[in-house]
Chain A
Amino acid sequence: MTAAHLLQVAAGGLLMGLVYALVAAGLSLIFGLMDVVNFAHGELMMLAMYAVFAIWAINGTDPLLLLPIVAVLLFGIGIAIYHGLIARALSVQFNRGMVQIFVTFGLAIFIRGACQFVWGGDFKSITGHWLAGRTIELGGVFLPLPQMAASAICLAAFAGLLAIGRTEFGRALEATREDRDAVALIGIDRNRIFALGWGLGAGAVGVAGVMLAGFYYVGPNVGASFAVIAYVTVALGGFGSMLGALVAGILIGEVEAFTAAFWEPSLKQVGVFAVYLAVLMLRPRGLFGRL
């Protein structure tokens, strides 16, 4: 095992970890804002991937060019999900917790089934795009350009979310998260804030999906596998914590990469879940959690 090999593994973990971080950030944002776990989060990412695939398959538009369009599309889908489903689920009188769980769970199954219906169950991949197959070499470490671009864009989107948090709108988000009933006293419509929160969460995971589509297979189960990692990331980072999502995302990426490299590639998620169990036992609120 050479130092170059170690660096290579670490670099791969970092690149994937940044994608995980953005996926988790969207999940964490929605959960932190309104205590709703979006079980369809992975499916939203998958929807973004299929959107890229579908447009690319029709006219060959490069995934990179589709980034803004699909991000905005997912933002709109997030808002529609809030108004169409979540707001209703929040207004039920009985068993609200169960209703919230099953409404997003059901949505996940619906999206998965719909995608399978439209595009079939087999794996698709987007080939021959601008970055496909290109790598750069940095000190003996080979970095594939699609992954490089994905991690850079995800990091930028992450920074964008943090920047939004510092704006006046970000303060309103924070206020709504602290006391959703009291914001009416300052003239804020919490439904609007909640809807925008869903838009941002879905838009974030949409960005991750677009970039992922450049080097990852597209299939009806791809969302579920990423969602599981996102839950672990959020739990590890601490529910509702953005910084936690970033640190935990990178950590998970590294654990996965090193498990695959030194143990067995097919067991890479075992390492991730070992970390998850350790967190649950030793620090249930996560690294940066406030709960």
Chain B
Amino acid sequence: MPHDPILILDNVSASYRGLRALQGVSMTVAKGEIVAVVGANGAGKSTLLKAISGQVATEGAISFDGKPLAGVPGHMITRAGIGLVPEGRRLFPRLSVEDNLRLGAYARRGDPNRFKPLDLVFTLFPRLAERLAQRAETLSGGEQQMLAIGRALMTQPRLLMLDEPSQGIMPKLVDAILAAVVRIRDLGVTVLLVEQRLVEALEIADRAYVLQTGRVVMHGTAKEIAANEDVRRAYLGM
């Protein structure tokens, strides 16, 4: 069991669109870790992130930084320090890149330093700085993903959750985005990464959980999971 946990799920179940998508999931994420959640399509990975961010009703207990999240509305979960880069990115398509980023700090109105994370975002993704005035919908898939991560960083999260950041973007950019995830962690943000690309995810993760039909079927260090015969057979076709 990792020490200094920031996120604890205890026996969490959830239904999504009428289907039982999570069944008795327990997991722990410690401060400063990258934890990967892997599994096939429909294993419940996205529902897991929706459950943590308050978008689906859950049974069981989820606590963040020692405080229970039960009944806390989604926007308050964001303000508590959990940033989500959702499936499909969910940017504001007609707003400019700059507006999308600045809105990430909207909830911190009154804090004079609230736009400070912009520097970090532009260091991680210099392309965004070149496209500030462009509408979000005109960006390429990879750039949109960068913007979605940037917008989440503007909320100054302590836990950043990413839902399939490699989906629908060019392979070249996948590496750049995963490298950025490592840098974000190195700056002190804990990362929970849901990813279909098992090899790449396990490469950067410290620990991993394998989900199958809504249950945790395996967990351990990323090295252990990567070396596991069953996992390799089931997800890597080896």
B-contacting residues of A (Cβ < 8 Å)?
168, 171-172, 174-175, 178-179, 181-190
- A185, B152: Cα distance in complex, Å: 7
Please state if B95 and A174 are interface contacts (CB–CB under 8 Å).
Answer: yes
Q: Can you list 18 A-B contacts (CB < 8 A)?
A: A168-B102, A168-B103, A168-B109, A179-B90, A181-B55, A182-B86, A183-B75, A184-B54, A185-B74, A185-B90, A186-B78, A186-B151, A187-B76, A187-B79, A187-B107, A187-B155, A188-B106, A190-B75
**B-chain residues with CB within 8 Å of residue A181 when the two chains form the complex:** 55, 90
From A168, which residue of chain B is reached at the shortest CB distance?
A: B106
Mark each residue of chain B from 70 to 109: 1 if its CB lies under 8 Å from any CB of chain A, else 0: 0001111111000110100011111100010011101111
From A178, which residue of chain B is reached at the shortest CB distance?
A: B92
B196 at the interface (CB under 8 A from A): no
User: Knowing A185-B152, A186-B155, A187-B78 touch, does A179 contact B107 (C-beta < 8 A)?
Assistant: no
- A181, B90: Cα distance in complex, Å: 9
**A-chain residues with CB within 8 Å of residue B103 when the two chains form the complex:** 168, 171-172, 175, 186, 188
Please state if B94 and A187 are interface contacts (CB–CB under 8 Å).
Answer: no
**B-chain residues with CB within 8 Å of residue A184 when the two chains form the complex:** 53-55, 73-75, 77-78
**A-chain residues with CB within 8 Å of residue B106 when the two chains form the complex:** 168, 171-172, 186-188
**B-chain residues with CB within 8 Å of residue A188 when the two chains form the complex:** 75, 103, 106-107
**B-chain residues with CB within 8 Å of residue A190 when the two chains form the complex:** 75
Nearest first, the 8 A-B pairs at minimum CB distance are: A187-B107, A184-B74, A182-B90, A187-B78, A184-B75, A187-B79, A175-B92, A178-B92
- A178, B53: Cα distance in complex, Å: 20
How many B residues have CB within 8 A of the partner chain? 31
Interface of A is mostly: helix
- A174, B74: Cα distance in complex, Å: 19
- A168, B105: Cα distance in complex, Å: 10
From B98, which residue of chain A is reached at the shortest CB distance?
A: A171
Candidate in B54, B92, B99 with the most chain A CB atoms within 10 angstroms: B92
- A38, B54: Cα distance in complex, Å: 30
B121 at the interface (CB under 8 A from A): no
Distance from B225 Cβ to chain A, minimum over Cβ atoms (Å)? 29
Candidate in B53, B93, B99, B108 with the most chain A CB atoms within 10 angstroms: B99
- A187, B53: Cα distance in complex, Å: 11
From A184, which residue of chain B is reached at the shortest CB distance?
A: B74
Please state if B93 and A178 are interface contacts (CB–CB under 8 Å).
Answer: yes
Distance from A240 Cβ to chain B, minimum over Cβ atoms (Å)? 11
- A178, B84: Cα distance in complex, Å: 18
**B-chain residues with CB within 8 Å of residue A174 when the two chains form the complex:** 92, 94-95, 99
Instruction: List 12 additional contacts besides A182-B92, A187-B79; criterion CB under 8 Å.
Output: A168-B109, A171-B95, A171-B102, A174-B99, A175-B92, A175-B99, A178-B93, A182-B91, A184-B74, A187-B107, A189-B75, A190-B75
- A215, B91: Cα distance in complex, Å: 47
Please state if B107 and A186 are interface contacts (CB–CB under 8 Å).
Answer: yes
Distance from A57 Cβ to chain B, minimum over Cβ atoms (Å)? 43
**B-chain residues with CB within 8 Å of residue A189 when the two chains form the complex:** 73, 75-76
- A174, B103: Cα distance in complex, Å: 11
From B54, which residue of chain A is reached at the shortest CB distance?
A: A184
**B-chain residues with CB within 8 Å of residue A178 when the two chains form the complex:** 92-95
